[in-house]
Structure 1
Amino acid sequence: MIPRVAASGLSHGARAAARAGGCLQIVGCTGAGILTEEEWVLDSPGAAALVLGGDMQLTLTPHTSLSDEDTVLSLCTPAGLSADWLDIPAKRFGAVSGDLFGHGPFTVWSGARVVESGRVDAIIQGVASVIAASQGVRALTSPIEVAEVQDHDIKRLGNYPALSVLVKSLPPQVREMERVPLHLIMGGVTIGDPETAIREGRYRLNHIVAANLRDQSITLSQRPARGDRLFWAMRDALTAERDMRACIAHSAQEFGDHTPDFALLFPCIGRGPQFFGNRDRDMDALRARYPGVPIVGMYGNGELGPLDGANHLFQYSTVLGLFRQTLPRVQS
């Protein structure tokens, strides 16, 4: 994983990695930044690599040959991301290539070559894994039924205008600002039982495009549906930190008494050190729980992981994968 570089330099780097490793089972991508258990890099060139050995192997495979029992390391560019590619029975886990400014070039590679399709699938064999995501937003309301919509606009939540509900839910210090920071506020659409959806992380975030004073509606990035249960939420560093710790604790519980052999961590560039005040609190929490465990990852333009049994493109989130080597089967 490499911060944004020229495509020619990336090709040379991929070939150098293949020569150094003595194999072509190599996947990677460019990112806004990289991280390991020792350091993160956002503002200068760098590279991070994880080398697997023994019975842990990387297998490149087309997504058409995957089953619902597979967990697939998935890397793609914004142009390579599509609903058909994302929506498969296998569990996807990974990130979308990105940079600090969103201009590109965005690149993924497999073996010693840049992949023109902009997407790579790989299975890590010989491991058991736990995949989890931390969305970590601060809920400002409980889930409310979407009562009236028009295209991408929410007109009414329950019996009240959507904008009125949002304004009343804002913390006093935010409500009194000259300009409300809409880039920090979003709607959360619950999945399944709305009573427990927020606590259990079963929701997808829908970002605000505009607040319309004339009709008190709110325009969202994704078309809302009448009958959805939506809560207003706000990005908050303290809430995100707490949610990540809970995510790690839940993942560790699923792992039982085992310590992972390595971890992959994919935070959004909008939830990196700049969000947490020049510290990567997500990585700090993971290192505190598993000191000495190798960690590698990148800050991307979107995070891929399972949500309520389906593959999902997360935003402003962190996706975590814990992996440990499984014992090879003894032939009788």
Structure 2
Amino acid sequence: MARSFSATCGPDGLRHHLADLRSAVPSASGGVVFVSGQLAQRASSVAELVRSTWRGTPACVVSAAGVLSERGEIEGDTGASGVLWSGGRVTPFALPERAEEPGRRLREPLARTIGHRSATAILFARPGAFAPEMLEALASCAPGACLFGAGTASGSAIGVTSEGELLEGPAIGLAITGFAPPIVDASPAARLLEGFHPIEDVSGGVVLRAGGRPALDLLSAATASLGEPPSPQQLVVAALADPLDPRGGAAVPRGEAAEPAAALRSERYVLRPIRGVDPSRRGLLLGDDARPGVRLAFAVRDAAAARAGLEGIARQVSRSALGSAPRFALYLSCAGRGQGLYGAPDVEARILRQRFADLPIAGMHSSFEIAPWAPGQARLTLYTGVLALFRAPS
């Protein structure tokens, strides 16, 4: 059993919605509450409200740029959404503020919660304070776990344990065991402008050469069709894909493709901002993820690609769930999508509702996304929608 809600409301209205959910799911095992606007600024008070209203139920309170459910999306206003469910064992956990050896410090506490193959870890990280190596530490602690999540709008997420303890840190997670792992997929709101090129020369996060050419020349060639200069809606970003498999072909393809255009669309990649340009060396500042061997392309934020991508992953997730009983879903969508991208409200909520009807869904507009990559592995990315469908085997 699961129930969701979303509403434009203040603390009193939120209390009412939380109480309604608790009445509808009396044997709840876990929940998530997303809050935006003034409620996000008062996340500690919201956590106290969740602790008292959902007494004994582990949960997580997450500040967001906006919130959503199967009913619609709330942007630019104070609002809340959430889901409460029964089934499985839910354990909130916090990652340490600083850890010289994050893997060692995390191994013992996480081994008790997500240290086996059927575990799921949902992670909500504070912007600017979450080190990507924490994802590697999580992978080493739980190599078979399903890992995904998102970045908060500001401040830390707050975990509420079943004993009523409040947990804070650069990243707060919910570990779920004893429940079928969710079906998770992700899709970027971007259109690739050209193919991928292996990075050959990097210095201090500045990519100097890729595909036998200066990186800045590659960017100029890729964006030539966008006009001079590109419009504000045509935000150009870097797309990074894994090195080619030694046997030839993409390292982690999404599926078989018969033609080059389809193969390009099926490529799995993460988006990174272009942080700067080095004209003297014809280089681009892309950060530490741009390493020799990693493949580089350029993409533009695109509403049509975002819509088609979400429709595609919703269709694939729905097909993958055949033979099981869907219980609820979480959808974590970048704040750079939404009405600002589509020019209309509720576009993504309508796509999800058309595919999943009245399935309880809760989600947020996030500062960045943590997208699944391989069993026990995830990557930070931008302008991405992450959909997770939880179900019970039938």
Q: TM-score, length-normalised on structure 1?
A: 0.84
SS of alignment partner, residue 83 of structure 2: coil
> Which residue of 2 is the match for residue 15 of structure 1?
48
In structure 1, the partner of 2:19 is none
Counterpart mapping for 1:70-149 below 5 A: 70-78=119-127, 81-87=130-136, 88=139, 89=143, 90-98=145-153, 104-111=154-161, 114-124=166-176, 125-149=178-202
Q: CA, structure 1 residues 314+68, in 2 after alignment: closer, same or farther (shift >3 Å)?
A: farther
CA deviation map 1:162-212 (0-9, x unaligned): 22222222253x2322x6769821222222448455433422223211234
Cα distance in 2 for partners of 1:217, 1:163 equals: 5
CA contact (8 A) 1:270 1:316 kept: yes
Residues 143, 18 of structure 1: CA spacing in aligned structure 2 closer, same or farther, 3 A cutoff?
Answer: same
Report whether the alignment pairs 1:63 with 2:129.
Answer: no
**1:240 is aligned to 2:344:** no
State how far apart, in whole Å, the 2-side matches of 1:272 and 1:201 are.
Answer: 24
Give 1:185's aligned residue.
Answer: 236
Alignment of 1:117-266 (within 5 A): 117-124=169-176, 125-170=178-223, 172=225, 174-177=226-229, 184-191=235-242, 192-193=244-245, 195-196=249-250, 197=253, 198-222=264-288, 224-258=290-324, 260-266=326-332
Task: Give the stretch that moved more between structures: 70-79 or 118-127.
Answer: 118-127
1:127 and 1:324 in contact (8 A); partners too: yes
Counterpart-to-counterpart distance in 2, 1:19 and 1:148? 56
Corresponding letter in the other structure for 2:179: G
Please say if residues 56 and 325 of structure 1, whose CA atoms lie closer than 8 Å, have aligned partners that are also in contact: no
Residues 63 and 85 of structure 1 are in contact (CA less than 8 Å); yes or no, is this contact kept in structure 2? no
1:17 counterpart letter in structure 2: V
Question: Match of 1:101?
Answer: none
Instruction: Kindly report the root-mean-square deviation, in angstroms, between the aligned alpha carbons of the 2 structures.
Output: 2.8
Q: How many correspondences in the alignment?
A: 319
1:288-312 deviations in Å (ceiling 9; x for gaps):
1111111101111121232134221
Task: Flag structure 2 segments of 5+ consecutive residues without an equivalent.
Answer: 1-33, 94-108, 254-263
Q: Which moved more, 1:284-293 or 1:158-167?
A: 158-167
The residue type equivalent to 1:210 in the other structure is G
Deviation at 1:258, TM superposition (A): 4.0
Identify if the C-alpha distance between structure 1 residues 159 and 170 changes in structure 2 by more than 3 Å, giving closer, same or farther.
Answer: same
Measure, in 2, the Cα distance between the counterparts of 1:152 and 1:83.
Answer: 15
CA distance in 2, matches of 1:7, 1:262: 23
1:63-109 alpha-carbon deviations (Å, 9 max, x no partner): 342224311122232355234532222222222211xxxxx344423
Query: In the alignment, which residue of structure 1 is the partner of 2:31?
Result: none
The alpha-carbon distance between structure 1 residues 209 and 195, as it changes in their structure 2 partners (threshold 3 A), is same
Aligned partners of 1:151 and 1:223 also within 8 Å = no
One-letter amino acid of the structure 1 residue matched with residue 309 of structure 2: D
- The change in CA–CA distance for 1:286 and 1:201 in structure 2 (over 3 A counts) is farther
Which residue among 72, 81, 104 is the counterpart of 1:39? 72
**Distance in 1 (alpha carbons) for counterparts of 2:218 and 2:349:** 35
Percent identity between the two aligned chains: 24
